[in-house]
A and B are shown apart, each in its own frame.
Chain A
Amino acid sequence: MGTENPGRPNFAARPVAAPYAVTPTMTPFSSGPVVGTNQPGPRPTPPIIPQSTTPFSSPRPAVGTDASGFRPTPPVAPQSTMSSLSSGPLVSEASGFRPPPPVRFNDPSVPPPPTSNAPPSVGPFSRFPTPPLPSTTQAFPSRAPPIGQPPFQPPVSQGLSPPVPFRPQQQIPPVPMGSPPQHVNYASSNVNAQLPSDPSFPAARPNLQPFLPGYARKQSSADPQVQPLQSPYLANQGGNFPAPPMASSPFVGHQGGYVQSPSVAAPLGLQSMQHPGAAPPTGAIQGLVEDFNSLSIGSIPGSIETGVDFKTLPRPLDGDVEPKSYTEMYPMNCNPRYLRLTTSAIPSSQSLVSRWHLPLGAVVCPLAEAPDGEEVPVINFASTGIIRCRRCRTYVNPYVTFTDAGRKWRCNICSLLNDVPGDYFAHLDATGRRIDLDQRPELTQGSVEFVAPTEYMVRPPMPPLYFFLIDVSISAVRSGMIEVVAKTIKSCLDDLPGFPRTQIGFATFDSTIHFYNMKSSLTQPQMMVVSDLDDVFVPLPDDLLVNLSESRSVVDAFLDSLPTMFQDNINIESAFGPALKASLMLMSQLGGKLLIFQNTLPSLGVGRLKLRGDDLRVYGTDKEHALRLPEDPFYKQMAAEFTKFQIGVNIYAFSDKYTDIASLGTLAKYSGGQVYHYPNFQSATHGEKLRHELARDLTRETAWEAVMRVRCGKGVRFTSYHGNFMLRSTDLLALPAVDCDKAFAMQMSLEETLLTTQTVYFQVALLYTASCGERRIRVHTAAAPVVQDLGEMYRQADTGAVVTLLTRLAIEKTLSHKLEDARNALQLRIIKALKEYRNLYSVQHRLGGRMIYPESLKFLPLYALALYKSTPLRGGYADAALDERCAAGYTMMTLPVKKLLKLLYPCLIRLDEHLLKSPAHDGPKSVEIRLPLAAESLDPRGLYIYDDGFRFILWFGRVLAPDIAMNLLGPECAAELSKVSLTERDNEMSRKLMKILKKMRESDPSYYQLCHLVRQGEQPREGILLLSNLVEDHMGGTNGYVDWILQLHRQVQQNP
């Protein structure tokens, strides 16, 4: 079939990795010089770039002359709205806000700026009324030293970047105050807010200086001059604010700006949600808030009585939030569902990379499902040929620039000037835009799909091909698996992609291998048995793989008879290895997808496996990891062969006993497939899950014989890849069959010590055969700015991508190390990152007993904790069966970001109130309130659902209103819930519940969530199903959330 060399020679023959036409053409990465100025022709908001790149770097003169000068470039470009506000002082606003405070605050330090302006922040404030100033003062002296005596020439400021000048001072108060904790802090913060409210204002106004409360007082004795200055101000303040004019207008403006900012920030969820107490919203603090988040923790290190409020810890209750800032900045980037960078600010130098302790890389999901209306446009360049850079083979994308009146275009990745082919030529208008821009989706959208001409094929596009290899030994028969599989396949036959060309074939095995001749001229399939396992052969060259549409009736007949055919089989052996070899021989002509339904540990012929993992003594030793690796090199070799012949393998494992998923999963791992594990499968209970997942596997859009490569600008290179695929060359991922549920992670490194460009571009190209028989290239392009500032890197971090990469690295580590080592490595990495981040700020703001972290990574500790407790990494021998551990590991290696985050931190939702409500109030929102995953969230009077994307667990509280249980479960509600199944009953409540479940399943169709019921106190089921998954709780020896935070904090504070 293959036009050229269909068989192995294919590969061997061509030195240049020929089978994939792409390869030769794609030269790895641009070697060309990158022009420093990348002009994105049509980029809408270029101005921002400079800001973000050098957020804090603009060195500010110690004494700013005027307000406006003070913050030309809002340090935190996107996130903190405040920045924008601050730059434009609004006097009016400031004045507006002032009125309220007068009464309460007679102290200079007191003025509570936020009240009127920032409603959200008010809450926290009210808690700390007006701490007496004195206390602050007292506190100050003690920590004053670092501040630097000369009130105004903060020595620190010079050395440090812009924010510094004033920050140290303003912040001082909040920070050190640790001991008289919040109150004091509070006061001080207020104080600060008032005067220097512009921390960044350093020396802006000389007369303001005195304001620093701490300073003023402290120095008063020493420095008489200061006093006078201060007093006027104080008077004003105390009296009230009517006197704004006194404070020079700019100042006021700033205040206003600042003050306001908290209010702005609050909506962002910064303060309000997290540290009501800890981070006073006042102006002074604002500076802090914009840079990082903090958690106040007991001031005495190591003390048990900590100030951590369990309720205020950050939790991702809104699910995964994709980073917005840079998609706004680069609107032509592909949607983050396709490509997410761990930080959207690329470090400019090696030294920055080494200080960014988290993984630097990307998570790519090239075929992610797009909602209706956002499908990737398909472009056919028929006559022109696909436009690519001559040198680096980059595909034309929105970031290329046209010059020379439209005759040339400059590659954005290697900046080579290419000719525009005649057919593609278009004039440029006055602004340099192509006049036909509107008709060219490839020049306006980050994601496009090109139809590939014949140069991109080594053989005619293959038809979709499905081959089923089904275990029919006695345990498979007993579990009912065969019947479910046969029925599901039959029901999906109409929906298999690629209709008239689809090919299909079947083989079954126990101690022998059975093939089925399904020639279209037959009425009944013919079975052929091969019992020579040492020298497997395919009994019939053709007709074992048939065209589905031609042989439809035979296939139907086969599937109808399959369950009964082996009804009485009592064979307990499994010749899995030989069957695998036979399938390879059969499929090697075309490639395709091999679905293996496996129930018995392979026991005959090559590739037989033995029971392992029962030996407790191995755990905790250096040999432990071997249990998670394939036992027999046969499986790796087979996996490589499968990939070579474009065969993707999906494993469905059903055994109730050990089946060595570690070995079997290898087949899926290196062929771009996935592992479905149904431990102890019984068709009555798990049938539905298998039915849905198999149907999805068969019918979802699949890309065949694909290869993927990610190109990026000069100086940056992807060095390691993590996921289910096989590398065909250093940067080319071979993916025999890939679909929307697979994501790939990769890490990058800098090749040069210094990046000179302003922007780095990434381009993901997936060359594949669509089911319809068209060869296509899906191209996603994204741009990210290069920064010199470490803080900016942390600010632009994307927790989802970071967690995905960390997960994959940790799981890979379990394959060569002990579980404990993998967990420790994970923890160490997070600690290093937090420590580095802390060091960025601790000099300027003495942070005492507070834990600080970037806003963007606020959920990182929690996800890390969840990962710590996830199935592949948790505990030791007893905490998860070896097979489950491995299966979960294989699954998590492929999951896209959103699904992984949901698995790590599942939804917990209270349902009973919703069910009781009349349909009239049936707001869609009511079901979406997620609760923290802690036992505290569970009310014995409630009914809760736990959804991790793979299963639902319905938890019935002990004192749940009996009518709810009655309505939902019928008369069986008193029975043990493990034996009860949830079915729709004839009442409103049950229907409603089913509707909710259905909706939740539809929102996440890649897996089917089977519903498990459990009643409070029903041990050990409750413990296994739910309690062990409440990641915020203590569980045998592992930390709860609060302790975890404390532990991290302690370790972060420890000096190296």
Chain B
Amino acid sequence: MSWDLIFWIICFAIDLGLLASTFYQLVILTDLEADYINPFESSSRINSLVYPEFIVHGVLCALFLLTWHWFLFLITLPMSAYFVMLFLKRKHLVDVTEVFRLLNAEKRLRKLKLAFYLGLLVIIIFRTFTAGKISLQRSEFGELDLRSSFLVF
């Protein structure tokens, strides 16, 4: 089993986690808009996810850099920079007092993030495939087709 494949699977898991977190936040905001949840609750839930998300994203970005995946590193870099900027401007947390005024902007931001992570996911899946294929080809079973490479994992 190649390290490469393991790496891509880890990336896949991280990205999936980020995707889920973003989606969850989006759902909370939608609920808030529809008055299914009160602002105190929703902002505390969202805010509890903000730091983990930043950290995980940072880790992902660093992973790409360390493993010399230039392309993906450059793709994730702007988002990391954006997070750092938000943090420095102290706008990273949802402001419970103004949450309704910022609702649309927050939602749009999260939709963009969602799209970004989805795109990233596609790339990662693709790379996972490739890595899986390569590792399989290298293995003794050599001639197995792609489907069987999945069966292995």
Chain A positions within 8 Å of B, measured between CB atoms, are: 11-12, 14-17, 19, 23, 28, 633, 636-637, 639-640, 644, 666, 670, 720, 726-730, 732
Q: Distance (Å) between the CB of A24 and the closest chain B CB?
A: 9
Decide yes or no: A17 and B33 within 8 Å by CB, A636-B96, A639-B97 being known contacts.
no
Decide yes or no: A633 and B93 within 8 Å by CB, A23-B35, A720-B101 being known contacts.
yes
B41 and A12 contacting across the interface, CB-CB below 8 Å: yes
Chain B positions within 8 Å of A, measured between CB atoms, are: 31-33, 35-41, 90, 93, 95-97, 99-101, 103
A729 and B38 contacting across the interface, CB-CB below 8 Å: yes
- Out of A17, A640, A644, A730, which one reaches B100, CB within 8 Å? A730
Q: Distance (Å) between the CB of A610 and the closest chain B CB?
A: 16
- Out of A14, A15, A720, A728, which one reaches B39, CB within 8 Å? A728
A729 and B96 contacting across the interface, CB-CB below 8 Å: no
- Out of A28, A636, A640, A720, which one reaches B40, CB within 8 Å? A640
List A contacts of B103 (CB < 8 A): 730
- Out of A14, A17, A636, A732, which one reaches B97, CB within 8 Å? A636
Q: How many A-B residue pairs have CB under 8 A?
A: 52
Decide yes or no: A17 and B38 within 8 Å by CB, A633-B90, A720-B101, A730-B33 being known contacts.
yes
Give complex CA distance A171, B95 in Å.
Answer: 56
Give complex CA distance A637, B90 in Å.
Answer: 14
List A contacts of B97 (CB < 8 A): 636, 639-640, 666, 670, 726
A727 and B100 contacting across the interface, CB-CB below 8 Å: yes
List B contacts of A633 (CB < 8 A): 90, 93, 95
List B contacts of A729 (CB < 8 A): 32, 35, 38-39, 100
Decide yes or no: A637 and B35 within 8 Å by CB, A12-B40, A12-B41 being known contacts.
no
Q: Distance (Å) between the CB of A641 and the closest chain B CB?
A: 8
A15 and B36 contacting across the interface, CB-CB below 8 Å: yes
B90 and A727 contacting across the interface, CB-CB below 8 Å: no
List B contacts of A640 (CB < 8 A): 39-40, 96-97
Give complex CA distance A637, B40 in Å.
Answer: 10
B37 and A15 contacting across the interface, CB-CB below 8 Å: yes
5 additional contacts (CB under 8 A) given A17-B38, A720-B101: A633-B95, A640-B39, A666-B97, A729-B39, A730-B35
Can you list 7 pairs linking A and B with CB atoms under 8 Å apart? A12-B41, A14-B38, A15-B36, A15-B37, A640-B96, A670-B97, A728-B39
A728 and B38 contacting across the interface, CB-CB below 8 Å: yes
A16 and B41 contacting across the interface, CB-CB below 8 Å: no
Give complex CA distance A455, B149 in Å.
Answer: 63
Q: Distance (Å) between the CB of A751 and the closest chain B CB?
A: 15
Decide yes or no: A17 and B96 within 8 Å by CB, A11-B41, A720-B101 being known contacts.
no
Q: Distance (Å) between the CB of A1033 and the closest chain B CB?
A: 37
Identify the closest chain A residue to B99 (Cβ).
A727
The 7 closest A-B pairs by CB, nearest first: A729-B35, A640-B96, A727-B100, A670-B97, A17-B38, A15-B36, A11-B38
Identify the closest chain A residue to B41 (Cβ).
A12
Identify the closest chain B residue to A720 (Cβ).
B101
B35 and A644 contacting across the interface, CB-CB below 8 Å: no
List B contacts of A666 (CB < 8 A): 97
List B contacts of A727 (CB < 8 A): 39, 99-101
Q: Distance (Å) between the CB of A86 and the closest chain B CB?
A: 49
List A contacts of B37 (CB < 8 A): 15
Give complex CA distance A301, B83 in Å.
Answer: 52
Q: Distance (Å) between the CB of A4 and the closest chain B CB?
A: 15
Decide yes or no: A16 and B36 within 8 Å by CB, A727-B100, A730-B100 being known contacts.
yes
Identify the closest chain B residue to A12 (Cβ).
B41
Give complex CA distance A248, B30 in Å.
Answer: 70
Identify the closest chain B residue to A670 (Cβ).
B97
List A contacts of B101 (CB < 8 A): 720, 727
B40 and A644 contacting across the interface, CB-CB below 8 Å: yes
